[in-house]
């Protein structure tokens, strides 16, 4: 019995040291060495200041910017509270929010079909992307607010439209932060 207990303690210590210390340190070191940008959050830095992440969405409320899809993560795009709303399609709170968003979008772009992702949140609540249709829907508002033509914005949206990964995974998408950063560089917002 004493011999089996000693073996069990040794195995426990060995696996704890290997799987609890050595392996995590090795993986962290490799990720920092091979994929430093991704391992540190894919942060976007402009003029020495971190302005966001390629991986986590953020709220843009000014008409001069393309807007992200709604977020149910905490107070909005809170990575510590990543989640969907988990509200049923018949839930009054969800129905009221979606109806309010639809009314606002109809006023913004009368007669245009509203893309679903402009009124629904993603499963994580952190999605930094919108569909190309959502970006196209917002072009008239952004162009008006910046005092430029819609045709001047279309090439920028096209440039930031990512295709399906490997040609078959996911859907085409537009990273809202990257699009808005280029928008500011190309057409600085007037106050």
Check: pTM over 0.85? Answer yes or no: no
Rounded CA gap, 106 and 167, in Å? 33
How buried is 89 (Cβ within 10 angstroms: 0-12 exposed, 13-18 middle, 19+ buried)? exposed
What pLDDT is stored for residue 189 in this prediction? Answer: 62
> What are the DSSP calls for 90-119, one per residue?
T-HHHHHHHHHHHHHHHHHSTTSPPPGGGT
What pLDDT is stored for residue 6 in this prediction? Answer: 92
pLDDT grade for 43, boundaries at 50, 70 and 90: confident
Question: For residue 128, which of 63, 49, 42, 186 has the smallest C-alpha distance?
Answer: 42
Q: Do 132 and 148 contact (CB within 8 A), yes or no? A: no
What pLDDT is stored for residue 84 in this prediction? Answer: 73
Q: Is the pLDDT of residue 73 over 80?
A: no
User: Which run of H or E residues covers position 50?
Assistant: strand 49-53
Total residues found in the chain within this entry:
191
Per-residue exposure over 18-54, b if at least 16 CB sit within 10 Å of its own CB, e if not: eeeeeeeeeeeeeeeeeeeeeeeeeeeeeeeeeebbe
**CB atoms inside a 10 Å sphere around CB 115:** 19
């Amino acid at each position: 019995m004493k011999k089996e207990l000693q073996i069990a303690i040794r195995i426990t210590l060995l696996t704890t040291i290997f799987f609890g210390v050595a392996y995590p340190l090795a993986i962290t070191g490799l990720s920092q060495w091979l994929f430093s940008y991704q391992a540190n959050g894919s942060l976007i830095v402009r003029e020495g200041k971190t302005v966001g992440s390629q991986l986590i969405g953020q709220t843009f409320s000014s008409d001069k910017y393309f807007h992200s899809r709604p977020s149910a993560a905490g107070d909005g795009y809170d990575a510590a509270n990543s989640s969907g709303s988990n509200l049923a399609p018949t839930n009054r709170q969800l129905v009221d929010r979606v109806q309010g968003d639809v009314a606002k979008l109809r006023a913004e772009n009368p007669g245009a079909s509203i893309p679903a992702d402009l009124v629904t949140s993603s499963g994580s609540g952190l999605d930094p992307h919108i569909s190309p249709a959502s970006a196209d829907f917002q072009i008239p508002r952004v162009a008006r607010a910046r005092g430029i033509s819609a045709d001047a914005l279309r090439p920028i949206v096209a440039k930031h439209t990512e295709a399906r990964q490997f040609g078959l995974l996911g859907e085409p998408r537009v990273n809202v932060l990257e699009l808005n950063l280029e928008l500011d560089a190309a057409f600085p917002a007037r106050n």
